[in-house]
Chains A and B, each alone.
Chain A
């Protein structure tokens, strides 16, 4: 049997570790939130599941401008735009895009640092005619705006 004596931890070591762990714990939640991918929300297969993984139920807010086409000829490329009027809804830190009928409703989630406009343009796949949601987090609360997009050719084609 090998003898492995546990070395008593020195006072100096102990202090060092306490400092390191303390500093890590003191990092604001926002910093952690931006680094960690919201896996549960991305893995969700139903809209309410995905919304629940993002946080509390969002309430509709007029300050969110959400632009999607009324009719998308090609569901594989649906241009969308989210812009938030900072006077109407300040302190937005996160914008998520959800597509109700997609296999995984959460399409993308953006973290918005201070000094960046709450403005995002991108293109998403929409499997079939359904409602698209822009969910915005401000001061820890969720707000949303929704739009229906009709799809004449599904996003999963191939």
Chain B
């Protein structure tokens, strides 16, 4: 199931500010459910932020990033109307993607 990402990209002076909110359980693999069974680890491992086709940020994540992760980054050179895209991959092969235009 591909998760959707809420993104906002806003130009402030020379800088474009990107805020992305992803929907993901970010399960550590160390918790147990009510029956005492271990809940398998399920977390985002890779996140990439693109401006057009250029990578502006690439992150490797562990399970210690909070559930429904938030990421804020800033880059130079964006113009209103340009596309900003965020993608993620998790440890179970899941992916997520979202895009917006800079305003």
Do the two chains belong together in a single complex? yes
Pick the contact of B75: A106, A117, A122 (CB < 8 A). A117
Q: Is A103 part of the contact surface with B, judged by Cβ < 8 Å?
A: yes
Complex interface: chain B residues within 8 A of A110 (CB): 57-60
Contact indicator B45/A37 (Cβ below 8 Å): yes
Contact indicator A108/B60 (Cβ below 8 Å): yes
Contact indicator B64/A119 (Cβ below 8 Å): no
Contact indicator A109/B76 (Cβ below 8 Å): no
Complex interface: chain A residues within 8 A of B67 (CB): 76-77
Q: How far is the CB of A90 from chain B (nearest CB, A)?
A: 14
Which positions 11-47 of chain A face chain B at CB distance < 8 Å? 34, 37-38, 42
Given A112-B57, A115-B75, A115-B76: A122 and B69 within 8 A (CB)?
yes
Contact indicator B75/A116 (Cβ below 8 Å): yes
- Report Cα–Cα, A71/B71, bound state, in Å: 21
Contact indicator A107/B62 (Cβ below 8 Å): yes
* Chain A contact residue count (CB 8 A cutoff): 34
- Report Cα–Cα, A82/B61, bound state, in Å: 16
- Report Cα–Cα, A19/B33, bound state, in Å: 54
Q: Is B74 part of the contact surface with A, judged by Cβ < 8 Å?
A: yes
Interface string of B43-79 (1 = CB under 8 A from A): 0011000000011111111111111011111111100
Supply 25 A–B pairs (Cβ within 8 Å), ascending by A.
Answer: A34-B58, A37-B45, A37-B46, A79-B70, A81-B72, A102-B64, A103-B28, A104-B63, A104-B64, A109-B59, A109-B61, A110-B58, A111-B58, A113-B56, A113-B57, A115-B75, A115-B76, A115-B77, A117-B73, A121-B72, A123-B66, A125-B28, A125-B63, A156-B30, A156-B31
CB-based closest 4 A-B pairs:
A121-B72, A107-B64, A117-B74, A123-B66
